[in-house]
Amino acid sequence: MTTALLTDRYELTMIEAALHSGRADRRSVFEVFARRLPDGRRFGVLAGTGRLLEAIADFRFAEAELEWLERERVVGRRTLDWLAAYRFRGDITGYREGEVYLPNSPLLTVEGGFAEAVVLETLVLSVLNYDTAVASAAARMVAAAEGRPLAEMGSRRTSEASAVAAARAAYIAGFDATSNLEAGRTWGIPTMGTAAHSFTLLHDTEEQAFRAQVETLGTGTTLLIDTYDIRQAVETAVRVAGTGLGAVRIDSGDLPSLVREVRAQLDSLGATGTRITVTSDLNEHTIAALRGAPVDSYGVGTSVVTGSGAPAAGMVYKLVAHSDDDGSWVPVAKKSAEKASHGGAKRAVRELRGGVAVAERIVVDADRDGVPEALEIDGRELTVPLMRDGQAVPEFLGVTGTRNARAHRAAAIAELPIGALRLSHGEAEIPTVFG
Amino acid sequence: MTTALLTDRYELTMIEAALHSGRADRRSVFEVFARRLPDGRRFGVLAGTGRLLEAIADFRFAEAELEWLERERVVGRRTLDWLAAYRFRGDITGYREGEVYLPNSPLLTVEGGFAEAVVLETLVLSVLNYDTAVASAAARMVAAAEGRPLAEMGSRRTSEASAVAAARAAYIAGFDATSNLEAGRTWGIPTMGTAAHSFTLLHDTEEQAFRAQVETLGTGTTLLIDTYDIRQAVETAVRVAGTGLGAVRIDSGDLPSLVREVRAQLDSLGATGTRITVTSDLNEHTIAALRGAPVDSYGVGTSVVTGSGAPAAGMVYKLVAHSDDDGSWVPVAKKSAEKASHGGAKRAVRELRGGVAVAERIVVDADRDGVPEALEIDGRELTVPLMRDGQAVPEFLGVTGTRNARAHRAAAIAELPIGALRLSHGEAEIPTVFG
């Protein structure tokens, strides 16, 4: 399935006009960045890069797409021929997937002919804005959980294809599992889940339902105990499964007090090893509020897949430089109003002091000469090659890329000052410095 | 492409356990409803139904899916065989797509064997929760625009597949066009768009860029005038395109005052027919704030595709009745805590007085005898057949279904009391009454 029509119409009309003006092949550099973090956040976590590199490889205009574009008169013959021959052959550099980012971090740089690079704008932003919104929210939940495992189970709260992307982004941000089977198949993420309230309601008694589940899925299963009376359900659960019952799940009610009561009851019945998992409209704040309660794991739905109040990361895709007729690089930037930006191709270094991040240093490579200046700072290079002449760097792709991103996220978060993990509203935790 | 793995793992483990307990084939009724509207909203607009009916037809477990489920030991052989033979053969009734809804409206009723119906839960909710969130937000923007045309252009602010669904949902809610090409191809929605700031920045001067665009796309095109200085850009635009220029677009700045200045300048240059379109982070409130300004059309991005603060509609999929061993219907409902629900299969009527909606009347059809009671009220039947024995009703599918939904939405909104269209925070505009 091609990704080529997951594109705003104006990308194609711009190509048409640029072919006419003779500017379509001007070597161009587009940059992806976010002017600010979501309101009150102290850092973001980049996700989607691996998925994007694969989607760019599938960005081809086949017969069916060209016929539709012609029939609808979106563009003319010359542009249709150009699109028929299209595949991205340029270079992409950027932050590693899983990387921490800050306002104006140059997250992705796409270099190619103008038309070749501009046509990817919609796809690039769709993937990165959504996945990064999820990962950035998920990272705060991971911090709030203080080491207790988290499962993503929000597939039903975002569109069916977004659900797979959300599971992947949450996993990269430190979640441990997902309920979504396609995310398990495509991205190798561990899947989890046992039963819903409907399963209990289907049976004539709660005991019948528990017995059916335990006989089928084993005593290590998780029994859902809040369909009727929780106290009665715990008693039934341990009677049916024995004290080796894996876990119980609570999906409603006043969790801090309920969890304590259920823990005490389980212990009194001898089920001291039975874990308690909670799944009731959790977000980073309610997770943090359960820090003092004997919860063993969390399942998070709506809030993680919708970015917990920030459902899009606010990244933009801006032309920052192009070559002129002499082949020299010209930095460009929109001037007007509140959306002014910084011209020129950039690279970035996270400045560290004693292993702790102190600044996001962004250097404009005005000459585009590919020779990084030696920076006289203690820091970690953030800009790495992701795609070269249209070929993606394999370590960022597929199941391996997803795992690598998860590991990279852990390392990048570990560099942050401890205050960055606070959940309260605040400013970006470290400053972005140009030059 | 199958939709079968866009599913929470617990749907399949429930089937496994229900096959074991002999309850998998119990005739069951699942209901989709939302306990409440998004905070402060007065009504919602249902969307996604047509798309869902098509996705249910594609819900099949092929060899690749079965092999993965087996390898991962998600379920055992008996369940794998059951899944291999699966296709939905049951009945679905519900609200028409585009229908106005209220808290507890029975939006969709899925009837079939327990396993047959429960397995659709994740897919049903993913589609309806996202599409309805978008349509419900979009309907408020349409009301705010007071008849001026709206274009959806938020593809880059939601994941790439969601973008297509969002364009469709916004169109159903009354938007007139989308920037998304795939939404044009798949759902027959008019597409629009001309150029971005990058196109102007690519050229050596703004005039070169405008000239290239006008020569390629015609004088009826829309020129983007806020890359550098707006006043200068308007002057250049009219000089290049003539007074027949189609439109100018403003994407930043203080819109109410800018729009007035640009209108006055266009008029003074003789371009009295040139329209003004604005596209700068609009939502229902900023659209309403422009009611007094000479804006001709709006382009809306982030806020519409993210549900303008309510990115998921909060619908649930609950077992409300099943047959017992004698074949009698048993209404069921979860009892615990704040998530209690109403048992029994339902139908709904919108009670009207003088053509104006006054109540959402919900009747429990406890016997499931298929004979609707004659209701002694003036009203419109809301519950209609959508799928019979696994076959969807054609009028709800494809391009035709999308257009029908848009027309139905217009009629349903027209029945609402005028106060329902207020943008201020409020309660559901008409009460939901059981019985």
B174 in a structural domain? no
User: What percent of chain B is predicted at pLDDT more than 90?
Assistant: 91
Tell whether B259 and B206 lie within a shared domain. Answer: yes
Beta carbons of A431 and A104 less than 8 angstroms apart: no
Q: Which residues of B touch A192 (CB under 8 A)?
A: 9
Interval A372-426: pLDDT, tens: 566 677 899 999 999 999 999 999 999 999 999 999 999 999 999 999 999 999 9
Interval A181-199: pLDDT, tens: 999 999 999 999 999 999 9
Q: Which residues of B touch A251 (CB under 8 A)?
A: 339
DSSP string for residues in B169-222? HHHHTT--EESBHHHHHHH---B-----HHHHHHSSSHHHHHHHHHHHH-TTSE
With b for 16 or more beta-carbon neighbours within 10 A and e for fewer, the B241-273 pattern comes to: beeebbbbbbbbbebbebbeebbebbeebebee
A1 in a structural domain? no
B318:A197 CB<8 A:
yes
Q: Which of A58-67, B131-140, B224-233, B365-374 has the lowest mean pLDDT?
A: B365-374
Tell whether A383 and A258 lie within a shared domain. Answer: no
Helix (H) or strand (E) segment spanning residue B140: helix B121-145
Tell whether A268 and A333 lie within a shared domain. Answer: no
B176 in a structural domain? no
CATH of residue B203's domain is: 3.20.20.70
Among A179, A198, A318, the residue with its CB nearest the CB of B9 is: A179
Interval B61-70: pLDDT, tens: 999 999 999 9
Interval A135-165: pLDDT, tens: 999 999 999 999 999 999 999 999 999 999 9
The crossing angle, in degrees rounded to 10, of helices A160-172 and A398-414 is 50
Out of B227, B262, B295, a domain closes at B295
Tell whether A373 and A402 lie within a shared domain. Answer: yes
Q: How many domains does chain A have?
A: 2
Q: Which residues of B touch A345 (CB under 8 A)?
A: none
Regarding an ipTM greater than 0.90, the answer is: yes
Rounded to an integer, the average pLDDT of B180-203 is 97
Tell whether B21 and B116 lie within a shared domain. Answer: yes
Helix (H) or strand (E) segment spanning residue A235: helix A230-241
Residue of B nearest to A64 (CA): B185
Please identify which residue in the block is written with the tokens 């010359």. A78
Q: How far A153 CA sits from the closest chain B CA (Å)?
A: 8
User: What percent of chain B is predicted at pLDDT more than 70?
Assistant: 96
Token pair recorded at residue B423: 């943008």
* Cα dist from B46 to B39, B94, B155, B346, whole Å: 17, 10, 20, 17
Token pair recorded at residue B178: 């989308």
B358 in a structural domain? yes
Q: Which residues of B touch A180 (CB under 8 A)?
A: 6-9, 122
Supply the range of the domain harboring residue B210. Answer: 194-295
Out of B272, B295, B318, a domain closes at B295
Q: How far A402 CA sits from the closest chain B CA (Å)?
A: 18
Closest CA to A106 of A305, A309, A342: A342
Tell whether A92 and A152 lie within a shared domain. Answer: no
Q: How far B271 CA sits from the closest chain A CA (Å)?
A: 23
B216:A336 CB<8 A:
no
Whether the pLDDT of residue B337 is over 60: the answer is: no
How much is the pLDDT for B373?
60
Q: What is the DSSP letter of B156?
A: G
Q: What is the rounded distance in angstroms from the CA atom of residue B429 to the CA atom of residue B434? A: 16
Q: What is the rounded distance in angstroms from the CA atom of residue A219 to the CA atom of residue A271? A: 12
**Could you tell me whether strands A150-152 and A222-224 are parallel, antiparallel, or unpaired per DSSP bridges?**
unpaired
B126:A336 CB<8 A:
no
Tell whether B282 and B328 lie within a shared domain. Answer: no
Tell whether A301 and A317 lie within a shared domain. Answer: no
Residue of B nearest to A182 (CA): B5
CATH of residue B401's domain is: 3.20.140.10
Token pair recorded at residue B349: 């009527």
Query: Strand, helix or coil at A257?
Result: helix
Whether the pLDDT of residue A29 is over 90: the answer is: yes
Among B10, B217, B302, the residue with its CB nearest the CB of A194 is: B10
Residue of B nearest to A318 (CA): B198
B180:A6 CB<8 A:
yes
Tell whether A162 and A286 lie within a shared domain. Answer: yes
Out of B295, B324, B357, a domain closes at B295
A277 in a structural domain? yes
How much is the pLDDT for A374?
60
Tell whether A301 and A322 lie within a shared domain. Answer: no
Tell whether B290 and B314 lie within a shared domain. Answer: no
Please identify which residue in the block is written with the tokens 């996001």. A360
How much is the pLDDT for A190?
98
DSSP string for residues in B111-134? EEEHHHHHTTHHHHHHHHHHHHHH
B168 in a structural domain? no
B344 in a structural domain? yes
Disruptive mutation site among B72, B74, B159 for chain A (greatest number of A CBs within 10 Å): B159
B111 in a structural domain? yes
How much is the pLDDT for A435?
81
Rounded to an integer, the average pLDDT of B218-236 is 97
For chain A, how long is the longest CA-to-CA vector? 82
Sheet holding B150-152, edge to edge: B177-178, B150-152, B297-300, B275-278, B247-250, B222-224
Rounded to an integer, the average pLDDT of A278-297 is 96
Beta carbons of B178 and B189 less than 8 angstroms apart: yes
How much is the pLDDT for B371?
55
Beta carbons of B154 and B163 less than 8 angstroms apart: yes
Interval A330-383: pLDDT, tens: 999 887 555 556 888 899 999 999 999 999 999 987 666 655 566 677 899 999
How much is the pLDDT for B234?
98
Q: What is the rounded distance in angstroms from the CA atom of residue B265 to the CA atom of residue B291? A: 20
Interval B4-37: pLDDT, tens: 999 999 999 999 999 999 999 999 999 999 999 9
Helix (H) or strand (E) segment spanning residue B80: helix B77-84
Q: Which residues of A touch B311 (CB under 8 A)?
A: 157-158, 306-307, 311
A72:B153 CB<8 A:
no
**Could you tell me whether strands B315-323 and B329-331 are parallel, antiparallel, or unpaired per DSSP bridges?**
antiparallel
Q: How far B28 CA sits from the closest chain A CA (Å)?
A: 8
Disruptive mutation site among B202, B227, B332 for chain A (greatest number of A CBs within 10 Å): B202
Q: Please give the interface size between A and B, counted as residue pairs whose CB atoms are below 8 Å apart.
A: 344
pLDDT band at B375 (very low <50, low <70, confident <90, very high): low
> Average per-residue pLDDT in chain A?
95
Disruptive mutation site among A39, A65, A108, A160 for chain B (greatest number of B CBs within 10 Å): A160
Rounded to an integer, the average pLDDT of B81-96 is 98
A16:B217 CB<8 A:
yes
Beta carbons of B217 and A16 less than 8 angstroms apart: yes
pLDDT band at B342 (very low <50, low <70, confident <90, very high): confident
Whether the pLDDT of residue A177 is over 60: the answer is: yes
* Cα dist from B136 to A80, B86, B229, B284, whole Å: 37, 34, 37, 11
Query: Strand, helix or coil at B402?
Result: helix
Beta carbons of B81 and B21 less than 8 angstroms apart: no
Whether the pLDDT of residue A76 is over 70: the answer is: yes
Token pair recorded at residue A276: 């308690």
Q: What is the rounded distance in angstroms from the CA atom of residue A419 to the CA atom of residue A428? A: 11
Rounded to an integer, the average pLDDT of A314-332 is 94
Whether the pLDDT of residue B341 is over 90: the answer is: no
Q: Which residues of A touch B184 (CB under 8 A)?
A: 9, 68, 72
What are phi and psi for residue A287, nearest 5 degrees? -65, -45
Q: How far B331 CA sits from the closest chain A CA (Å)?
A: 10
Tell whether B342 and B286 lie within a shared domain. Answer: no
